[in-house]
Structure 1
Amino acid sequence: MSEKEIVIVNAENLILGRMASKIAKMLLTGKRVVVVNAEKAMISGERNMVIEGYKKLWSVRTLRNPDKQGPRRPQSPRNIVKRAVRGMLPRKPKGKEALSNLKVYIGIPKEFHGKEMIKFEDVVADLSKGRYISVGELSEALGWRGVIA
């Protein structure tokens, strides 16, 4: 069996949902994908609206146990990006296998310095035209206490 092609994606200033759909297509074709600078990916929308939307999405209370919070929400930038890509993949064994070929990093690890990275030009966020929030800012607002490199 041949070694799968490794693609390194720099997520800096890329719109999260559009980037995730392109990465999902690459994963389904059998490539290994490494995403660096996950904390610098952008989500479009008003800052407060995006934060409240993520909090509402994951804070579901049940009638039987109203004190219990719903499913755990991803707080770290790498888990938010990985969850976005997972949402673009099919819920079948092929999608699960494709997700295992995805690696997401905060910042750029030493082993990827100087290597060729691709950046999807058609999904770059035009910061002058609209309001955006970075995944790193969203993570901090959700309570993540990690260090952004």
Structure 2
Amino acid sequence: MKQEKMTRFIRTEDADRKWYLVDAKDQVLGRLATEVARIIRGKHKAIFTPNMDTGDFVIVINADKVRVTGKRENLKEYIRHSGYPGGQKTTSFQNMMQKKPEFVIHKAVKGMLPKNRLGRQLIKKLKVYAGDKHPHRAQKPETLSFTEK
């Protein structure tokens, strides 16, 4: 067998993209977000390249049933700023789960991706839905389950 003298780099169009379905029911937010970010980034593949998008698409359902541990349910806050003086607003975790449960998972995963052009491209491969219905049946997503260690 002849050995190659150069490192082979995969092209983004050669990366085999799969769709995965993840049920967030009774999952801990941070642990779920870590696994989802790993799949979106492509770190679970042998062809992983840090500067390229080699990851897969992830659909998260039942975002309204995700849980947090300890006192985070009462203490965690989401902060945004309008850009004007005194324009900082905070929303508690409980209020956010009632109003926009998809945002909670989206923000947790986004925080675990690179803070550059690649990260902005990768976050588009995350689809989050509050209920158990999603419009991606045509992609035939493969079901993933994460077990706690």
Q: Which TM-score band applies after superposition, normalised by the shorter structure?
A: 0.5 to 0.7
Corresponding residue number in structure 2 for 1:69: 88
Q: Which structure carries more relative contact order (alpha carbon 8 Å, separation 6+)?
A: 1
CA distance in 1, matches of 2:56, 2:75: 35
TM alignment of 1:1-149, pairs within 5 A: 1=13, 4-29=17-42, 30-46=55-71, 50-54=73-77, 57-58=78-79, 65-66=85-86, 68-70=87-89, 75-109=99-133, 111=135, 117-122=143-148
Instruction: Kindly provide the amino acid, as one letter, of the partner of residue 53 in structure 1.
Output: K
Quote the sequence identity (%): 26
- Which has more helix, going by share of residues? 1
Q: 1:23 to 1:59 in 2, by over 3 A?
A: closer
For the aligned residue pairs, the C-alpha RMSD in angstroms reads 3.2
Aligned to 2:131, the other structure's residue is in SS state coil
The TM-score, its normalising length taken from structure 1, stands at 0.64
The TM-score, its normalising length taken from structure 2, stands at 0.64
CA distance in 1, matches of 2:33, 2:64: 14
- Which has more strand, going by share of residues? 2
Instruction: Kindly provide the amino acid, as one letter, of the partner of residue 11 in structure 1.
Output: A
Radius of gyration: which is bigger?
A: 2
* 1:25 CA displacement: 0.7
Unaligned runs of 5+ in 1: 124-149
